[in-house]
């Protein structure tokens, strides 16, 4: 895929999607209560386009959904030919060493300049404040906020960039946290126990000002979901990946800077001790998360562009649109993980595992217990510490080929020797552990073993000789054998009938 320039705001993004045949406008009236979810679910699972609903029942604004629903659209949003290319951009900076020689020094200065130029830029005015509502004019009912699943008690804002500051040092945090709508001027703020937004709230002494940006360019929207260390500004990451700074303007009723080109901004505050029951919510785990107390967000102002477009996303049983947000993180942060775990070759967070339930890791194995060392490294690394199961394979194994990984699990694992049980922190949304937030962890060493690990002599793996492979390839036309590429080298695929029989 040829790279294109990254869009500057949501409207440029929509225009790009239309030019690329990646967006469909729906003029028929649709209901944000469940109906949009069902439409979107069918489109997502078919690999279909982004959807712009222009006539949403009971609302004054159109709704954009499924903008991130395929790998191609994610790459378009990043202005890159692949997500790994985006990761390499970040890796080039992370791996900077003291330069030697004039050319290397010039390149190093260029990289440092790109970092400096990534810092957010404050401007005097922005399109996000073309229309301003304060006081009694604040009304969340004008927005087409979805109720996504039948068990959800009310509509939820699902694609926000929530902006807070650490009360101790002023460090900005931008996170993507769902917001349950309570009434015209209040929502609940789902700050999970491991999230930086919750930390800012807990460190506050009374009131914490909060801004919520909705409808951003794709890179800035993605940055709100990025698992960055607390001292790294998500807007700076967005500026680096875009190649231009995120422009910010001071909010109208709070001392928080907000994206100048956002479609919609909610301004307000939360207060210590002001909690209310939130949930249940149909979440990316495929199950409803239970009711828990979370902070109440009081909206003091709504600012927006004229004819603002509201963005939404639906999560649920995978795959959903958020799968490609997660895959983007997987690819983009591979170089960063290698900085801490240099023996790591690649990793995969299966979509079906909701990203935090399983990690498949390939390593350059050098010594006995190396796989176990890497398991513990993963369990001590940022939000990867919440991973429930880690499978380690050799460097030549394709971690994205689940059939190959399963073959290695069957062929190379002695459960008495190669399965490790541990315990530690688990994701806030994980319903399986007996204790919330904490439970068991599983590590599986599916690498080849050597004599120093107490095994018998490891057998050689079956491979055809290169000479014979080349011979057959050169003579293939002579054989007159037509193969269907969809057959995928004879790999078995169960029919739906077979799967039903197996389940009985």
> Catalytic positions, please?
283
- Radius of gyration, alpha carbons of the chain: 25
Token pair of 4, please? 């294109």
Three-state DSSP string of 216-278: CCHHHHHHCCCCCCCCCCHHHHHHHHHCCCCEEEECCCCCCEEECCCCEEEEEEEECCCEEEE
Write the DSSP symbol of residue 214.
E
Residue 133 half-sphere exposure toward CB, CA atoms < 13 A: 17
DSSP output for 146-213: BB-STT-SS-EE-S-EEEEE-TTT--EEEE---EEEEETTEEEE---TTSHHHHHHHH-SSEEEEEEE
Distance CA 111, CA 125 (A): 30
Beta bridge partners of 172: 165
DSSP 39: H
Q: Which residue has the tokens 């890179």?
A: 219
3-state secondary structure of 423: strand
- Burial classification of residue 351, based on how many CB atoms lie within 10 Å of its CB (0-12 exposed, 13-18 middle, 19 or more buried): middle
How far CA 254 is from CA of 172, 245, 260, 310, 314, in Å, comes to 14, 22, 15, 22, 30
Distances (CA, A) of 371 to 333, 363, 377, 416: 21, 8, 10, 15
Q: Closest Cα to residue 57, out of 180, 142, 157?
A: 142
Render 280-311 in DSSP notation, one character per residue.
-EE-TTSSEEPPEEEEEEEEEEEEE-TT--EE
Calpha distance 405→349 (Å, rounded): 13
């Amino acid at each position: 895929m040829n790279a294109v320039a990254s869009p500057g705001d949501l409207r440029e993004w929509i225009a790009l999607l239309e030019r690329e045949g990646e967006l469909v406008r729906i003029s028929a009236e649709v209901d944000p209560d469940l109906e949009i979810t069902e439409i979107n679910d069918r489109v997502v699972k078919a690999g279909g386009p982004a959807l712009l609903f222009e006539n949403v029942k009971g609302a004054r604004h159109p709704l954009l959904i499924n903008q991130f629903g395929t790998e191609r659209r994610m790459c378009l949003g990043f202005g890159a030919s692949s997500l790994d290319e985006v990761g390499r951009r970040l890796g080039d900076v992370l791996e900077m060493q003291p330069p030697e020689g004039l050319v290397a020094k010039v390149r190093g200065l260029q990289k440092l300049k790109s970092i400096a130029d990534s810092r957010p830029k404050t401007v005097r005015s922005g399109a996000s404040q073309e229309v301003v509502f304060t006081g009694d004019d604040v009304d969340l009912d004008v927005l087409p906020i979805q109720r996504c699943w039948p068990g959800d008690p009310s509509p939820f804002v699902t694609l926000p960039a929530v902006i807070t500051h650490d009360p101790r040092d002023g460090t900005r945090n931008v996170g993507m946290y769902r917001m349950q709508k309570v009434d015209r001027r209040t929502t609940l703020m789902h700050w999970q126990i491991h999230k930086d937004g919750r930390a800012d709230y807990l460190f506050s002494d009374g009131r914490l000002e909060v801004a919520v940006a909705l409808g951003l360019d794709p890179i800035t929207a993605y940055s709100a979901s990025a698992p960055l260390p607390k001292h790294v500004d998500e807007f700076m990451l967005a500026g680096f990946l875009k190649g231009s700074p995120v422009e910010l303007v001071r909010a109208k009723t709070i001392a928080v800077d907000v994206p100048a080109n956002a479609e919609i901004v909610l301004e307000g505050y939360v207060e210590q001790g002001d909690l209310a029951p939130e949930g249940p919510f149909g979440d990316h785990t495929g199950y409803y998360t239970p009711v828990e107390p979370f902070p109440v967000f009081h909206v003091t102002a709504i600012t927006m562009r004229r004819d603002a477009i509201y963005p939404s996303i639906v999560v649920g049983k995978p795959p959903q649109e958020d799968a490609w947000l997660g895959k983007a993180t997987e690819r983009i942060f591979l170089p960063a993980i290698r900085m801490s775990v240099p023996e790591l070759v690649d990793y995969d967070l299966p979509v079906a595992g909701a990203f935090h339930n399983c990690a498949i890791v390939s390593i350059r194995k050098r010594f006995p217990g190396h796989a176990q060392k890497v398991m513990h490294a993963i369990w001590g690394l940022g939000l990867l510490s919440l991973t429930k199961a880690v499978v380690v394979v050799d460097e030549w194994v394709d971690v994205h080929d689940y059939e190959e990984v399963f073959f290695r699990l069957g062929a190379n694992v002695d459960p008495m020797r190669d399965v490790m049980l541990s315990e530690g922190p688990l994701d806030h949304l994980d319903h399986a552990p007996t204790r919330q937030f904490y439970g068991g962890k599983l590590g599986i060493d599916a690498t080849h073993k050597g004599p120093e690990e107490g095994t018998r002599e490891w057998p050689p793996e079956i491979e055809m000789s290169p000479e014979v492979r080349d011979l057959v390839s050169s003579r293939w036309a002579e054989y007159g054998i037509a193969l269907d590429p969809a057959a995928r080298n004879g790999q078995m695929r169960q029919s739906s009938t077979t799967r039903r029989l197996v389940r009985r």
